[in-house]
Amino acid sequence: TLKFHLGKEKQSERLWDNVSVAKPGFINFYIKTTTKLNYLCAAVAETHYGWGNIKKNDKIIVEYVSANPTGPLHVGHARQAVLGDAISKILSRVGYEIIREFYYNDAGNQIENLGLSVWARLNGYNDTHKEFPSDGYRGDYIKEIANDFKAVNNVSHVTKFEKSEKLLSDIKEFSINFLREEQNADLALLDVSFDSFALESSYYKNGLVDEVIDTLKKNDKTFFLDEALWLKSTDFGDDKDRVMIKSDGSYTYFVPDVAYHLDKWIRGFKKALNIQGSDHHGTLCRVKAGLQGLNKNISEDFPATILHKMVTVKKNGKDVKFSKRSGNYVTLKELIYLSSGLDEPCFSESRGEQTDISPLLAKGKDAVRFFLLSKKPETEFAFDVDLAQKHSEENPVFYVQYAHARASSVIKQSCMSEQELLVYFKNLSKTSFTGEQPEKFNKAENDLVLRVLGFPEVARCVTANFEPHQLVFYLQDLASDFHKFYNNSKILVEDVWTKNKRLLIVFGVARILKNNLELLGINAPEKM
């Protein structure tokens, strides 16, 4: 019966050559070569093929990195940065109105310890000196801040700095600004930037923290015990109630976080996405409990959160544990330099060389972004510096970029521009790619075309689940299929039908590789 009804179609109008039924009841359609080519023509004509059918009109605030301004960014922050940036680019591509935000915890004990650490270095105290804070910061960057403070304030001649309240306040403000500028500069090496910045201190100053406390009290969501104020967070699914104000009158760290997320809601964002390290897992329930306790109709899934595992760095088969400058971890900047083949972040400055290292840093940036996006966030990742430096097929980012360079070379040899090719293939879909054609796809051609035509479903999954690693997987598979096709097929041949077919395939692959590498913040070179 199926064959009977399908047979009623005119042969020229069918999308398939044949259809069959196989046990235990599968229906197999054998799609025409011309059908696939016409769909491929339509695909290459789209500016952002695969993403255009996903329409979103919502506003969403994406918060990521949000490092304390107490030291250089580390490799975990690098993972957050590229995840947040890639997800933001993807959401923007499908129509979301995106705000990228960085939240600074610029208040609390860690800032006090930062100020005291710099003050101790100003006085020349070492880590073991009785005046050096027990929970202080010991990296060489603290000495850099102290030296810069002296230079800016013209106090290089001063040998003794008294521990006055005003001086410590000035040191803290200077140190925070110093580190914020450095963090922004390091993020720029990854091509990561933000639309806005939020400061924890601002929510104390504008009264929003007090408003949170007062509202929760009014709603009977708090209680006093042992001279501390507690949140009834178990009312909202937490495993135990949580202290909000300690017996000494200081706030626990999640209280300003509740105020911050209330501020997001007040600003009109009904959807929020946070990207944080897995060590923040315990904070999620507390913040959501606080938000629900405010009784302001805030969604229970506000904010949505992606938690990522930390990153280890390997070089010469061994773990790279820390740098002297940071004290106890590999910095984001060091990771980029190592991936570029530059061992020292101050390479050009320290040696007085004038060589432009930006091309090398661009390669390092591409490797860092590609590698850190290539795994699910919840999986641990060992970053292999030696692999990142390789210019061979072993290096996955090189492998994908090389596919684009190969495709670009073929297109250049065709002596037509991208716009000319778009018009050319649009016309071909009305002429050469209609009717019955004797030549079928070979296996390499067919696998590659089906890979291209399957991309819209990949784009849908990537968007729906906030999973840029799925896009990386796809690009690797596409590059693999393309290299097989390239190695086994002569493309610019004399036979017009074969040349048109293969040039269309190459053009389609090049467009997808370029559009989606750039969407991930990675270069798509035209020659390598």
pLDDT in tens, 260-280: 999 999 999 999 999 999 988
Point out which residues pair with 27 in neighbouring strands: 21
**Quick check: 37 pLDDT over 90?**
no
Q: What is the pLDDT of residue 282?
A: 82
Q: Name the residue among 96, 102, 101 with its Cα closest to residue 59.
A: 96
pLDDT in tens, 46-81: 889 999 888 888 999 999 999 999 999 999 999 999
Q: Name the residue among 310, 330, 322 with its Cα closest to residue 186.
A: 330
Q: What is the pLDDT of residue 14?
A: 59
Stronger pLDDT, 487 or 8, i.e. the higher one = 487
Between the CA of residue 219 and those of 189, 278, 291, 296, what are the distances in Å? 47, 31, 12, 11
Q: What is the pLDDT of residue 5?
A: 47
Q: Which two tokens stand for residue 240?
A: 């135990």
Helix H or strand E encompassing 307: strand 304-308
Strand segments (E) across 32-174: 59-63, 97-104
Taking the C-alpha atoms of residue 307 and residue 480, their distance in angstroms, rounded to an integer, is: 30
**Quick check: 2 pLDDT over 90?**
no
* Strands of 228-231's sheet in order across: 222-225, 228-231, 242-245
Q: Which residues of 84-112 are buried (b: 16+ CB within 10 A; e: fewer)?
A: bbbbbbbbbbbebebbbbbbbbbbbebbe
Q: What is the pLDDT of residue 400?
A: 98
Q: What is the pLDDT of residue 362?
A: 95
Q: What is the pLDDT of residue 434?
A: 55
State the amino acid at position 221 in one-letter form: K
Q: What is the pLDDT of residue 431?
A: 56
Q: What is the pLDDT of residue 145?
A: 97
Taking the C-alpha atoms of residue 12 and residue 27, their distance in angstroms, rounded to an integer, is: 21
Query: End-to-end distance of the chain based on CA atoms, in angstroms?
Result: 56
Q: What is the pLDDT of residue 19?
A: 72
Residue 350 binned pLDDT confidence (cut-offs 50, 70, 90): very low
Q: What is the pLDDT of residue 270?
A: 94
Backbone angles phi, psi at 169, to 5 degrees: -65, -40
pLDDT in tens, 166-222: 999 999 999 999 999 999 999 999 999 999 999 999 999 999 999 999 999 999 999
pLDDT in tens, 156-174: 888 899 999 999 999 999 9
**Secondary structure of residue 488 in the 3-state scheme:** helix
Q: What is the pLDDT of residue 157?
A: 86
Q: Is the dihedral of CA 79, 80, 81, 82 positive or negative?
A: positive
Stronger pLDDT, 402 or 239, i.e. the higher one = 402
**Neighbouring C-beta atoms of residue 37, cutoff 10 Å:** 24
Q: What is the pLDDT of residue 482?
A: 98
Q: Which two tokens stand for residue 222?
A: 């708090």
Q: What is the DSSP letter of 33?
A: H
State the amino acid at position 151 in one-letter form: A
**Quick check: 347 pLDDT over 80?**
no
Q: What is the pLDDT of residue 149?
A: 97
**82 neighbors 187 (Cβ within 8 angstroms):** no
Check residue 162 and give left, alpha or beta (phi > 0: left; psi -120 to 50: alpha): beta
Q: What is the DSSP letter of 441?
A: P
**Quick check: 32 pLDDT over 50?**
yes
Stronger pLDDT, 20 or 315, i.e. the higher one = 315
Q: What is the pLDDT of residue 399?
A: 98
Please state, rounded to an integer, the average pLDDT across all residues of the chain: 90
**87 neighbors 275 (Cβ within 8 angstroms):** yes
Residue 259 binned pLDDT confidence (cut-offs 50, 70, 90): very high
Q: Name the residue among 288, 273, 299 with its Cα closest to residue 238.
A: 288
394: buried, middle or exposed (CB in 10 Å: 19+, 13-18, 0-12)?
exposed
**Quick check: 131 pLDDT over 90?**
yes
pLDDT in tens, 452-461: 999 999 999 9
Which of 107-116, 337-346, 407-416, 444-453 has the weakest average pLDDT? 337-346
Q: Name the residue among 445, 430, 452 with its Cα closest to residue 33.
A: 445
Taking the C-alpha atoms of residue 315 and residue 334, their distance in angstroms, rounded to an integer, is: 12
**Quick check: 370 pLDDT over 60?**
yes
Q: What is the pLDDT of residue 60?
A: 97
> Pairing between strand 26-31 and 16-22?
antiparallel
pTM, whole model, 2 decimals?
0.91
Q: Which two tokens stand for residue 416?
A: 């037509």
